[in-house]
Structure formats: C-alpha cells, structure tokens
Amino acid sequence: MAILPITVYGDKILRKKTELVKEVDMQVIELIKNMFETMRNANGIGLAANQIGADKSIFVIDISGVEGSENIKPMVFINPEILERSEETIPIEEGCLSLPDLRYDVVRPKRVKVKFFDADMKEHTIEADEMFARVIQHEYDHLQGILFIDKIHESVLKKFKKALQKIRLRQVETDYPLTEKMDYVLR
C-alpha cells in the first residue's frame, strides 16, 4: 500500500464528474487499498478517487472512529448513486482534505438511500442517516465535481477567498502530502 498525495482546490480533476468503473481489476483493488491508506494517514473519514487524481467513480469511508458510528465498518463505494434524500435537513460543520484548514456548516439531508457496488462488484442498497449519510453525500459530491464550499452562501464564500488562493497555490501546511499543481491526471 502507498500513501498518495491529495489534490486540492484549483485542480481541474476535482471539478470533473468521474468515470464509471467497468470492472474491478488488480489496479482498482490497489487503488482502493491506497485510498484507505491515504485517508487514514491524513486523519480523514472519507476520500474520493479524484482527490488522489484518479478519474474513477469510487470513494472510501471509515467513520468507525466517530462517536456514535463505531459499529459502521470501513466501506468502499463503487459507482454510487443516491436514490433518495430525506426532506429533513441538518447543518453540520464540514471540512475536506482537498480544502485544508477550511471548515463551515453545510446543510444536507439527514438521511439518504444509496445504491453502490463493493470491491467484488456486488450491488448493495443501504439507508444511512446522521454522520454516515453526511459523509456519503460529501464524497458522492466529489464524484460529481462538487465541493462542500459550493453549498455555502456566496457572501460567506467571499470570506474564504484568501484562504482558497493559498490552497490553490499550495501555501498551506498539512500533515499529509499534496499533489503538485495538476490540470488532469488519470490513474
């Protein structure tokens, strides 16, 4: 397994809808292992493939260290599709490994129903709520080219302008490696 550098705000791959996975071969299995390793190294609870420069519709989640979510095992979601979102919403502060040091309350549906494939390409449909639903939605958005800052009111986003520029220029300190500036990379 390898710890891979993480793409940041300004990298074009974060704004592109990812490609569907047609088959899970050894390269995809290695990518998934590396995603878990990279996420854990960065103290994250979710990571999408495009956050490490891979144009694939895959994300991984491990929220077992979050209070109240200890019974939720680490999971991989391949070609996920959110089927239902609850009308009830809740605001929770979010952060993102691709937006180091930025945090803000984001309003999202409290519950979701999602269909996805696991690493054996077996299809699953699950319902998730609270933090589990939150992380699924955050990572799913990454696969659609959406960042959590896209859900923040424009007047608030203006306050982040300098911080976003520093991130784009990689003038931020992180405990994990960042990619060099990239326009587009396939892995």
Residue 70: CB atoms within 10 A of its CB come to 10
Largest CA distance in the chain: 46
Of 84, 87, 94, 139, the active-site residue reads 139
Place of tokens 């709520």: 129
- Beta pairing partners, 115: 81, 125
Dist CA 29 CA 96 (whole Å): 24
* 87 classed as catalytic: no
| Radius of gyration of the chain measured on its C-alpha atoms | 16
- Alpha-carbon span 144 to 139, nearest angstrom: 9
List, by residue number, the catalytic residues: 139
